[in-house]
A = this chain, B = another copy of it.
């Protein structure tokens, strides 16, 4: 085992602070990775503060982080896909049972025995897994992704969660080229949704409550912006969308967006409001519309997404911070005061 510096929270009420954790020695299937950057995802904050205690209580100390980009420093004897020096990524998953129907269908995120990157039972060391707010991580090679060399590693880190979360439903929708696609919310997830929908050739419209976000929405790739609080603007686009990606986790009126859909239109939720969403059955019947959910993506699809990003030069828009600013970053994330994702430069942890 190897001692590794990390930032952890010791309770739901504690800030994140310097800690030392153990990483296992690489087994023959493992890849040991020196972490370069780790994005900050809203799930990190939910877990640190035990806000999902009802279905996934947090074990402390908690080291969050599942948007990891790093460099391979060592590989086990059986590893065939990676070698020291490779730039790689690790997302929300670090293991699964490799044999259940979900694993066989390449949707390891639904494996009942999936091991999440943090706060998940650790098969090797006991306790729970520790995430990417740390110097290094050791991961089964089948959960390690190749990061295209032309991508900036700081901006590539959020692809591992925000990227795949938005890529997957857009990709699975079907032939989206030339279709009218809406993205609700322009944040960490939303801005990635805009980039992917645009890269796939859709006509992209951002729904936002903030008129001030218009220029920025256009800059990241939107063709149009609708201020969702403006009833007239909304009505002018009613019934015209083929697909809407809803990235908002706060309570909001989903029927207003169902109303925007045309025949056979679909709205897919990737944010998860805590309370059930009241959905009008009439709104679904008239126009044969549907509401779906989507959750990250499988490993093969995540690699496909990274390769697509390499081919199209897509990364997240990030504000790079030293890890010492992580608690402040959480507060700014809650205030939507970031364009659009924080990415922690892990050299700052090494230097401590």
Q: A192-228 interface mask toward B, CB cutoff 8 Å, 1 = contact, 0 = none?
A: 0000000000000000000000000000000000000
Whole-angstrom CA separation of A110 from B101 in the bound complex: 39
A107, A263, A293 — most chain B CB neighbours (10 Å)? A293
In the complex formed, the residue of B with least CB distance to A293 is: B284
Query: B263 and A272: CB pair below 8 A?
Result: no
Please pick, from B107, B281, B288, B292, the residue contacting A284 in the complex, using a CB distance under 8 A.
B292
Query: B295 and A279: CB pair below 8 A?
Result: no
Query: B293 and A266: CB pair below 8 A?
Result: no
A:244-296 near B, CB below 8 Å: 255, 263, 266, 269-273, 275-295
Q: How far is the CB of A350 from chain B (nearest CB, A)?
A: 36
Query: B269 and A110: CB pair below 8 A?
Result: no
Whole-angstrom CA separation of A209 from B231 in the bound complex: 42
Query: A266 and B279: CB pair below 8 A?
Result: no
Chain B residues with CB below 8 A from A289, complex form: 292-293
Query: A276 and B273: CB pair below 8 A?
Result: no
Task: Determine if A102 is an interface residue (Cβ-Cβ < 8 Å).
Answer: yes
Please pick, from B255, B263, B284, B295, the residue contacting A285 in the complex, using a CB distance under 8 A.
B295
Task: Determine if A105 is an interface residue (Cβ-Cβ < 8 Å).
Answer: yes
Q: How far is the CB of A102 from chain B (nearest CB, A)?
A: 7
A:94-113 near B, CB below 8 Å: 101-102, 105, 107, 110
A:62-114 near B, CB below 8 Å: 101-102, 105, 107, 110
Q: How far is the CB of A242 from chain B (nearest CB, A)?
A: 13
Q: How far is the CB of A247 from chain B (nearest CB, A)?
A: 12
Please pick, from B102, B277, B285, the residue contacting A270 in the complex, using a CB distance under 8 A.
B285
Q: How far is the CB of A207 from chain B (nearest CB, A)?
A: 17
Query: B292 and A290: CB pair below 8 A?
Result: yes
Inter-chain pairs besides A269-B284, A287-B293, 12 sampled, C-beta below 8 Å:
A105-B263, A107-B263, A269-B281, A276-B280, A278-B279, A282-B293, A284-B292, A284-B293, A285-B295, A286-B295, A288-B295, A290-B290
Of the A-B pairs whose beta carbons lie under 8 Å apart in the complex, a sample of 12, sorted by A's number, is: A110-B286, A110-B287, A270-B285, A272-B281, A276-B279, A277-B278, A281-B293, A282-B293, A285-B294, A288-B292, A288-B294, A290-B292
